[in-house]
Chain A
Amino acid sequence: MPNISIKDVKKVYEDASGNPVEAIKGIDLNIEDGEFVSIVGPSGCGKSTLLEIVAGLQRQTSGDVFIGDNPVTGTSRDIGVVFQDASLFPWKTIRRNILYGMEVAKVPRDEQERRFSQYIELMNLKGFEDKYPSQLSGGMRQRAGIARTLIMNPKVTLMDEPFSAVDHLTRCTLQEELVRIHQKEKKTVLFVTHDINEAVFLSDRVILLSPRPSVIQREYKINLPHPRSRSDDYLVHIASKIVADISRGAVELDNDYII
């Protein structure tokens, strides 16, 4: 599994009236093989922009992104992306949604079937194969969204606030499942979230971005083996430290980030 290296990436875009807006001032980040890294930060700090740059969905203004030795110049099947609201196609069944990437890539039928039954098992989606997304709960939809990405066996997985649209209990279950899958597959994961407890619970390392134009404000190494307890003193301590750092980093923060 290769690492992700982000080298002095800057992003400037033009707003509606043509004025340049500096979204990302300059970010250097190296994510090791098999490492699970979360990016947190206040709303609009550019964390999703950074993820889309790594995914090849947006072009950075300057700087480079590498997956292993290969520079990212556009989207690639080596890079899997899980989107915020699962973004399943409502006109396809769960089966067809999960198989979508392999159909596009023209993977042979029997190979598709083999991997499909493996991932439907892994994501606990058995019995829902022939349902349409509108017939499933938000949590189930996101399971299918994750399966659609992982089934392609990407070298790195990027997740953009994947659990933000599901209720709290479902979110906790999905987080535990994600930990289990990560322990098993040991894939490099870049995870964007605004939920600090989620970041701390899941990650090997948490990166705090400053408000726009963003830089890395601070990094937190989380040296605690899985399975972790949510109420572990060490995790609670780091989470409160991050919250304190966020409120120190910016005065104009949204209230919900200051607990």
Chain B
Amino acid sequence: MGNKKKKFSIINVLQILTVLLLLIYMQVAVKSGAISKVFLAAPTDIVLEGIKIITDGTLLPHFLVSVSEIVVGYGIAVIAGIGLGLIWTLFPKTEEYGNVFCAAIMAIPKVAILPLLILWFGIGFTSKVVLIFLFSVFTILYNTVTGAKQCKESYLKVARVFEATRTQTVLEVVIPSALPSIFNGLRLAAATAFTGVVFSEMQSAKAGVGYLLSEAQGLLNTPRVFFLIILITIMSVIFVKLITLIEYIFCHQWRSI
């Protein structure tokens, strides 16, 4: 955006007006009964429902369940994805061996495995963690490996000239130069991890934001559905921004982010 101050133009005014009109339409249409409460929610009802489930303690346990599933599943995926990427880069034979298996598992639409995961791990915490792991790990792995392969020839020449060992070269030259690609993978995986957790909780679960969402739909509580969709969107955006923040902390000194 540069350092030029953004001007508040007529376009911005129109954009805000459009949103306001949409909200007013929703409010009027629902309150007047023109559209059934089942199909649409009045903005005021959405806000009130949100305040209600936050203050009466309905939301918090489900929220915590979803967050802990994400933290554990995504956390394992980060460690495994970057770890395996490192091993593949250090020992190319292992990539030759493992690549076909990872590519095959990656090709399966993960949601199709969910029935199996539920059979194996039940409808609780574990099956969600495994699904999130499967959703994220390959993106992280392949971004790590691709980033490592794109290491600039001139950096590798410097390492060779100074007689760095293979391990020294990978750890001190190849991986740092792959960081931008690794962080891209982490960001992509963060977004898909969220899809994974919400979907699996909606399918079969005893708790979680996704569970609450499908329950609200079953109870025809449309304001709650709207509120939860907004909440999940915000959580997902914050999660992705968090990854960008970590990247900034690690890298902002030597490149612009």
Contact = CB atoms under 8 A, between A and B. Distances in A.
Interface of A: 55, 57, 75-77, 79-81, 83-85, 87, 89-92, 100-101, 104-105, 132-134, 152
Contacts of A81: 157, 161
Nearest to B176: A91
Contacts of A75: 160-163
Interface in B144-176: 152, 154-155, 157-165, 168, 172-173, 176
A249 to B, nearest CB: 30
Given A91-B176, A91-B251, A91-B254, A57 B164 contact: no
Nearest to B165: A104
A57 B160 contact: yes
B136 to A, nearest CB: 25
Contacts of A91: 176-177, 179, 251, 254
A87 B154 contact: yes
Interface string B159-203: 111111100100011001101000000000000000000000000
Nearest to A88: B158
Contact of B158 (A79, A87, A134): A87
A100 B162 contact: yes
Interface of B: 152, 154-155, 157-165, 168, 172-173, 176-177, 179, 251, 253-255
A28 B255 CA distance: 45
A52 to B, nearest CB: 8
Quick one: which of A77, A87, A105, A133 has the most chain B CB within 10 A?
A87
Given A77-B162, A80-B161, A104-B168, 20 more contacts: A57-B157, A57-B160, A75-B162, A81-B157, A81-B161, A83-B158, A87-B152, A89-B158, A90-B254, A91-B177, A91-B251, A91-B254, A100-B158, A104-B159, A104-B162, A104-B165, A105-B162, A105-B163, A132-B254, A134-B255
Given A76-B163, A105-B163, A87 B254 contact: no
Nearest to B256: A134
Contacts of A80: 161
Main secondary structure of the interface of B (DSSP, over half): helix
A55 B162 contact: no
Nearest to A133: B254
A8 to B, nearest CB: 25
Contacts of B162: 75, 77, 100-101, 104-105, 152
B98 to A, nearest CB: 28
Given A83-B154, A101-B162, A134-B254, A89 B176 contact: yes
Nearest to A101: B162
Contact of A55 (B161, B253, B255): B161
Contacts of B152: 87
A244 to B, nearest CB: 34
B160 A89 contact: no
A50 to B, nearest CB: 15
A52 B161 CA distance: 10
Given A83-B154, A104-B168, A57 B177 contact: no
Nearest to A100: B162
A79 B40 CA distance: 75
Given A133-B254, A134-B255, A89 B161 contact: no
4 closest residue pairs by CB, A with B: A87-B154, A132-B254, A101-B162, A91-B176
Contact of A132 (B159, B163, B253): B253
A101 B177 CA distance: 18
Contacts of B165: 104
B255 A89 contact: no
B170 to A, nearest CB: 13
Quick one: which of B160, B161, B173 has the most chain A CB within 10 A?
B161
A134 B164 CA distance: 24
Contacts of A133: 254
A104 B158 CA distance: 11
A48 B122 CA distance: 64
Contacts of A57: 157, 160-161
A100 B158 CA distance: 10
